Structure 1
Amino acid sequence: MSIYLDVIWFLNFSFDLFLLLLTAIALKRKIYKLRILLAAFLGSSIVLMMFSPLAFMATHPIGKMIISMMMVIIAFGFYRFRYFFQSLLTFYFVTFMVGGGMIGAHYFLQAEMKYLDGLLMTNSSGFGHPISWLFVLIGFPIMWIFSRNRLEGLEAKKIHFDQMVTVTISVDSTQFTLSGLVDSGNQLYDPITRSPVMVIDTMKAKEYIPAQLVYQALQQDVMRSLSESGDESHPWEHRVRIIPYRVVGSENQFLLGFKPDEVWIETKNEKIKVHKTIVGLNRTTLSSENEYECIVHPKMLQGQSIEHVS
């Protein structure tokens, strides 16, 4: 079996370099190019050690762990144990994630990749079939980009769910609970009282709201639906509010809403009682994935904290 040592070394050097970069991206660490290059060179030196008296260290799990720890220290430094272990475990995580994806794609496509003592190689007949090299050279960057995007997506999802709250609305003897999203982009206020406006998915709460009000709120032209209702009334008529709003590229529109008696917002840490707010009735679905049923105005979180949640 012929082995092209320089090609195998460069391949592993490139892999180590990209994995360290992905680790830095995942941890939001500043990237020092020289340190990353030196760490990648150290990691790829395991290929050279395979053909030296130190081969036993290159193939032993403890030896590999020591090398990976040194790589992380060189790339990101050592400030305290928690910082170091966070870097090390994240490096292992992205390695398993990208490597697992490559192995899965390998078996799915049956490309000619082989492993020799833990090193990624092309087929054992020498330089390798062009298709197998093409798979490695194209497949790894694709998996790297996919993994980076997934990590960013998971972070965005975490931020999103950190803003999720439970909202309970009370009107007379009616009380109902919805899942809410605190959205800093919601800057709706009642033009008269300057009360912050939270927006709910009308269809998710229609069983608790008077049918006449639901019908009016779901109409495209709210003002027209109110004028056409004539003498028809409902129990919440004195609570109805009209909130003007504007969407980019369109004229002023109106949102129908009502004034509740009280609103409770439960976050991860506390339960907040809100007295001054308006509940806007949205005619369309707020979340296509049903992750939340209302959008909470950020100012509502400044209400009175009545209970701390452990």
Structure 2
Amino acid sequence: MHYEIFLDLLFAENLLLNYTILRLSSFLLKRSATRRRSFAAAALGAGYAVLYAVFARYLPGALLALVGIGITTGMVKSGCRITTVRDLAVGMAGYILSGFLIGSAYRLFRELMPGRGILLFLLSGSAAYAGTLLLLKIRKEMLLEHARQVTVQLVQNGKWKKVKGLYDTGNTLRDATTKKPVSVVPYTVILELFPDEMRTGIAALARHETVPEPEQLLALQPRYIPFRGLEGGGFLPVIRISEMILVTEHTARHISGPLIALGGENSSSPRGYEIILHPDLMEGQEE
């Protein structure tokens, strides 16, 4: 069987493919390699592809394979600006993964758009790059969501309750006087922390009703703070409890006298969180 190879087209295709893979690998590895460096390394790999096509039938296959491994290693090391052996191993894995992604996209577009030549490489590289960006963004959001989750222990006069909390950057509530951050919890979640004679008053306060025997709530220092949300604004009732403990995998932060806004019965997060924490509590900036 006779094959006719156009070396200029072979070089161009490999240059484009190598460059796309190197840029994608650099992104996956979060390396600072410049486009010029990646282009030069891609040209090295494309040059080897041409030499392989010319001399493949004259040289031993084992030798060509060893040279190919060396060229690929040098291309990844230089094109992704890698300095350590560990990063090089990860870089080679990233190069293989990127090549697999682009190759898969190329086969798909080849079926959909036969005979498009260079355009297939452009589409394949763009699709793989965009797909990788999307996957990394989803993964980042999942990790961020996990980092924002915390177990919260609410403590009041010796009683305590464990609830599921979430740091929410959209929570900007602060007490108008002390400027301390305010977290939000449905009032029904914390009623059991208080004696029976206080529960009726807390429920009335949360529902903006007249509080019977308001002197029962004086120790909680009740007040109202303004808020604004997607559905409008208003005022939220706020109380101070004895303590709040924020428990993560590695730490437990004790916050004395935290301010808690009393939300309605159905005001918890739709994702099942029982308390929406102020983001400053995550960094210990509650003062």
- Are the equivalent residues in 1 in contact too, given 2:189–2:274 (CA < 8 A)? no
1:10 lines up with 2:7 in the alignment = no
SS in 2 for 1:34: helix
Greater Cα shift, 206-215 or 190-199? 206-215
Give me the TM-score of the superposition, normalised by structure 1: 0.68
Q: Which residues in structure 2 correspond to 1:1-310 (within 5 Å)?
A: 1-54=3-56, 56=61, 60=65, 64-100=68-104, 102=106, 106=108, 111=111, 129-130=114-115, 137-172=122-157, 174-183=159-168, 186-200=171-185, 202=186, 205=189, 208=192, 210=199, 213=202, 217=206, 225-226=207-208, 228-229=209-210, 231=212, 238-239=219-220, 241-247=222-228, 253-283=234-264, 287-290=269-272, 293-299=275-281, 302=284
C-alpha spacing 1:135/1:53, structure 2 compared with 1 (3 Å): closer
C-alpha spacing 1:279/1:68, structure 2 compared with 1 (3 Å): farther
Residue 130 of structure 1, CA deviation: 3.1
Gaps in structure 1 of 5+ consecutive residues: 113-127, 218-224, 304-310
Give me the TM-score of the superposition, normalised by structure 2: 0.73
What whole-Å deviation, never above 9, does each CA across 1:44-65 have from its counterpart, x for those lacking one?
33431332335736974x5554
AA at the equivalent of 1:25:
F
For 2:159 and 2:245, the matched residues in 1 are separated by 14
What whole-Å deviation, never above 9, does each CA across 1:72-116 have from its counterpart, x for those lacking one?
22113343333433433333333334444555xx3xx8817xxxx
Gaps in structure 2 of 5+ consecutive residues: 194-198
What whole-Å deviation, never above 9, does each CA across 1:199-255 have from its counterpart, x for those lacking one?
23x2893775757745764xxxxxxx42x3353879767526334234389986212
What percent identity do the matched residue pairs reach? 17
- Are the equivalent residues in 1 in contact too, given 2:201–2:211 (CA < 8 A)? no
What whole-Å deviation, never above 9, does each CA across 1:18-41 have from its counterpart, x for those lacking one?
221122223333232221101112
AA at the equivalent of 1:148:
L
C-alpha spacing 1:255/1:97, structure 2 compared with 1 (3 Å): farther
For 1:247 and 1:169, the matched residues in 2 are separated by 26
